[in-house]
Amino acid sequence: MVAVSTVTPLEQDVLLNMNKIEIGHGSGGKLTRDLIENIFLKYLKSDELKPLEDAASINLDHNHKAAVTTDSYVIRPLFFPGGNIGKLSVCGTVNDLVVSGAVPKYLTVGFIIEEGFLMKDLEEIVRSISETAESAGVKIVTGDTKVVEKNKGDGIYINTTGIGEIVKPMDLKNVSAGDKVIITGTIGDHGTAVAIAREEFNIDAAVESDCAALNGMLEPLFDIAGVKWMRDPTRGGVATVLVELSEATGLGVLISEEDMPVREDVRFIQDMLGYDPLYLANEGKAIIITSAESSDRVLEMLKGHPLGKDAALIGNITADFKGLRLKTIIGGERVLDMLEEDTLPRIC
Amino acid sequence: MVAVSTVTPLEQDVLLNMNKIEIGHGSGGKLTRDLIENIFLKYLKSDELKPLEDAASINLDHNHKAAVTTDSYVIRPLFFPGGNIGKLSVCGTVNDLVVSGAVPKYLTVGFIIEEGFLMKDLEEIVRSISETAESAGVKIVTGDTKVVEKNKGDGIYINTTGIGEIVKPMDLKNVSAGDKVIITGTIGDHGTAVAIAREEFNIDAAVESDCAALNGMLEPLFDIAGVKWMRDPTRGGVATVLVELSEATGLGVLISEEDMPVREDVRFIQDMLGYDPLYLANEGKAIIITSAESSDRVLEMLKGHPLGKDAALIGNITADFKGLRLKTIIGGERVLDMLEEDTLPRIC
């Protein structure tokens, strides 16, 4: 007897085709439907998500205004310590809603996939989207898939748009001198983890991205009247957010280097690379501006949550100057501007 | 005197940099803000669009459920006869809402731009988005910009997500044998115009894309009780939509080749290329399923609108068979399946 392959050439062809994204998966025809049924609907199930309809019908509580936000995610690498582009695309949009005083409810997801992308990687990303959305309590209600040719993309880009119900309207106008600046945890973890994952630097360190949905931690703060404004310091980092805050309010922000929570290994690596953690992207942190009276309560509530255990009061709002200043550990004051050069592009 | 340039090398550098998108425009820092202020806010103005906030606050009428839809646009070329990717990204999403029985209200827009993309092209696209949204009566409420390196994109990709108020819930369950199938105008114009614009074929013809927002024409039909379902036949064309309709309802669809409105030049070109207009993308057409009693009224209303002058009754819903069949001009019947091969990828 001769040994025979149990896989015929035709079957092999089918298997190979099934393993990679082809142009036809974006046709709107049969292959698109196969993709929807075999990958998307396997993980993304909701009453609202009906693949045959062009729009999803959603319920919003009529007692609140709706909030809407959109972000495209182009991070590289797609998989990094602490997450992947799928998890990030849910967390980032959920966080944009919650820092706007909204309870995140619904997400849409749009994929732009490069031809040849591995089906198993797509499946892993969609699985992450599903898990992250479920644990954050948001529903994926509709989606879209496009496929582009080789070298017209970079694996996969994802857009998510989020819709929520505003229960705590945040307004920069409420921010006033004497208010406190709180950060919910260590800064620069995401930027550092991704920089290392790119292997452009010869560094071996166990820094994970802080990528996390913050609604579970931040929503309880909506009940505190002294909480005035929140923002998640992603691209541009803590410094850029606070410079923008200063410009929009005409007030100054004084932050303290000593009080800034930075992981030891992150500080070490960024010292070596010459980056400042204040400008690095975070994907699971929020800056909170609160009245002085409420600041203890806010800190206490944050520290009671696993994602907030390193929360710290890092500065004050002041009418004494405009702009952002850092009180350095050696006692000086340094003026900080917003991010000028993009040292770590495609961080989210 | 010697002739001196009035532009210093430094100024020249600045001018050159200003003319093209750089990686830094996606940093979230200074260049991103320049781009927002100089291009986006120049055209996209609305009370809801506040660049400093992460989410927009929107008002929805509490008497209706909300509809949400998302689409990424990856069309090439970016500029084509009858439109560009900006106009398309508004029309496509507005149409997805209106065929779902919703009045389109709000759009988000997310850009993924390739490094080196010409600023003047971006400006033209943003201008189109603004004009198209205004004439369709929808507001751009929030946006996002990412920049990717050369050869990791293709000029620009745009995601739009649309939110509307459902005033005429459409349900395939209402479709029954005896219903009529109406198309609002000639088919295959968009697919043909884009195919020609790609210059892959040596054809010189004046076919324009039908790219248009249909809410002005379709919303009045919401008042007609006999109107049961609508769909815009984009990727996959009329045939794919009707095959899906048949599969979802378990009913058959019989359409008539003779009654199908196809422009003479489109038919000629597609005959030459070997494509079937029934599978070509449209970007300004809708398929309407209506009761037989209401079909005259629907046709009359459509024909009274400039975008509906070529509207035609093209077929019937039947319980006699399942699937989609075409009654050919010579009298035969051909079974049609959904689009299998993608002959014109990146058509939207």
State the DSSP code for B257.
T
Comparing CB atoms, the residue among A279, A337, A345 nearest residue B26 is A345
- Give yes or no for residue B297 having a pLDDT over 90: yes
**H-helix or E-strand spanning residue A287:** strand A287-290
Tokens, residue B293: 């009693």
User: Per the CB < 8 Å rule, is B57 touching A74?
Assistant: no
Percentage of chain B beyond pLDDT 90 is 80
Question: What is the rounded CA–CA span in Å between residue B38 and residue B29?
Answer: 14
Question: What is the rounded CA–CA span in Å between residue A226 and residue A42?
Answer: 44
User: By three-state DSSP, how is residue B290 classified?
Assistant: strand
C-alpha atoms less than 13 angstroms from C-alpha of B240 in its C-beta half-sphere: 25
Comparing CB atoms, the residue among B53, B55, B152 nearest residue A154 is B152
Domains of chain B from N-terminus onward = 54-166 (3.30.1330.10), 172-336 (3.90.650.10)
Number of helices (H) and strands (E) in chain B: give both, helices first: 10, 14
* Gyration radius from chain A CA atoms: 22
Which residue carries 């940099």 as its tokens?
B17
pLDDT (0 to 100) of residue A335: 97
* Gyration radius from chain B CA atoms: 22
Percentage of chain A beyond pLDDT 70 is 94
Which residue carries 């748009």 as its tokens?
A161
Q: Which residue has the higher pLDDT, B345 or B202?
A: B345
In 3D space, the residue among A241, A226, A228, A244 whose CA is nearest the CA of residue A187 turns out to be: A241
User: Per the CB < 8 Å rule, is A161 touching B70?
Assistant: yes
User: By three-state DSSP, how is residue A110 classified?
Assistant: strand
Instruction: Provide the H-helix boundaries in A9-148.
Output: 9-19, 30-35, 41-43, 85-98, 119-136
Best B23, B53, B103, B242 residue to mutate vs chain A (most A CBs within 10 Å):
B53
User: How many angstroms away from the CA of B20 is the closest CA of chain A?
Assistant: 16
Question: For the whole prediction, is pTM greater than 0.95?
Answer: no
Tokens, residue A200: 């452009």
User: How many angstroms away from the CA of A2 is the closest CA of chain B?
Assistant: 38
A50 and A41 Cβ atoms separated by less than 8 Å: no
Question: How would you class B55 by CB atoms within 10 Å of its CB: exposed for 0-12, middle for 13-18, buried for 19 or more?
Answer: buried
- Give yes or no for residue A303 having a pLDDT over 70: yes
Task: State mean pLDDT over B327-336.
Answer: 96
Identify the band that residue B14 occupies on the pLDDT scale cut at 50, 70 and 90: low
Question: What is the rounded CA–CA span in Å between residue A159 and residue A145?
Answer: 10
B270 and B192 Cβ atoms separated by less than 8 Å: yes
pLDDT (0 to 100) of residue B202: 76
User: By three-state DSSP, how is residue A315 classified?
Assistant: strand
pLDDT (0 to 100) of residue B5: 45
Tokens, residue A154: 């970079």
How far is residue A89 CA from its own chain's centroid? Answer: 6
Task: Name the closest residue on chain A to residue B99, using Cα atoms.
Answer: A54
Task: Name the closest residue on chain B to residue A52, using Cα atoms.
Answer: B244
Task: State mean pLDDT over B147-156.
Answer: 97
Chain segment A57-102, per-residue pLDDT in tens:
898 888 889 999 999 999 999 999 999 999 999 999 999 999 999 9
State the DSSP code for A278.
G
Length, in residues, of chain A: 348
User: How many angstroms away from the CA of B94 is the closest CA of chain A?
Assistant: 10
pLDDT (0 to 100) of residue A273: 87
Cβ count near A309 (within 10 Å): 13
Tokens, residue B163: 């939110």
The region, left, alpha or beta by phi > 0 then psi within -120 to 50, assigned to residue B250 is left
Which residue carries 């410094």 as its tokens?
A239
Identify the band that residue A339 occupies on the pLDDT scale cut at 50, 70 and 90: confident
**A59 phi/psi in degrees, rounded to 5:** -105, 130
Tokens, residue A91: 């967390």
Comparing CB atoms, the residue among A58, A68, A146 nearest residue B58 is A68
User: How many angstroms away from the CA of A299 is the closest CA of chain B?
Assistant: 23
User: Per the CB < 8 Å rule, is A342 touching B24?
Assistant: yes
Question: What is the rounded CA–CA span in Å between residue B84 and residue B88?
Answer: 6
Best A32, A88, A159, A174 residue to mutate vs chain B (most B CBs within 10 Å):
A159
Structure ipTM? 0.93
In chain B, residues with a C-beta closer than 8 Å to the C-beta of A66 are 57-60, 66, 163
Question: What is the rounded CA–CA span in Å between residue B101 and residue B231?
Answer: 10
Ranges A112-116, B62-66, B130-134, B229-233: which has the least confidence: B62-66
pLDDT (0 to 100) of residue B8: 60
Question: What is the rounded CA–CA span in Å between residue A156 and residue A114?
Answer: 6
Best B21, B27, B31 residue to mutate vs chain A (most A CBs within 10 Å):
B27
Q: What is the 3-state secondary structure (H, E, C) of B120-183?
A: HHHHHHHHHHHHHHHHHCCEEEEEEEEEECCCCCCCEEEEEEEEEEECCCCCHHHCCCCCEEEE
pLDDT (0 to 100) of residue B2: 40
User: Per the CB < 8 Å rule, is B56 touching A74?
Assistant: no
Q: How many CB pairs under 8 A join A and B?
A: 259
How far is residue A66 CA from its own chain's centroid? Answer: 20
Chain segment B309-326, per-residue pLDDT in tens:
999 999 999 999 999 999
Best B144, B154, B240, B245 residue to mutate vs chain A (most A CBs within 10 Å):
B144
Strand pairing report for B79-80 and B287-290: unpaired
> Over chain B, what is the mean pLDDT?
92
Question: What is the rounded CA–CA span in Å between residue B11 and residue B27?
Answer: 23
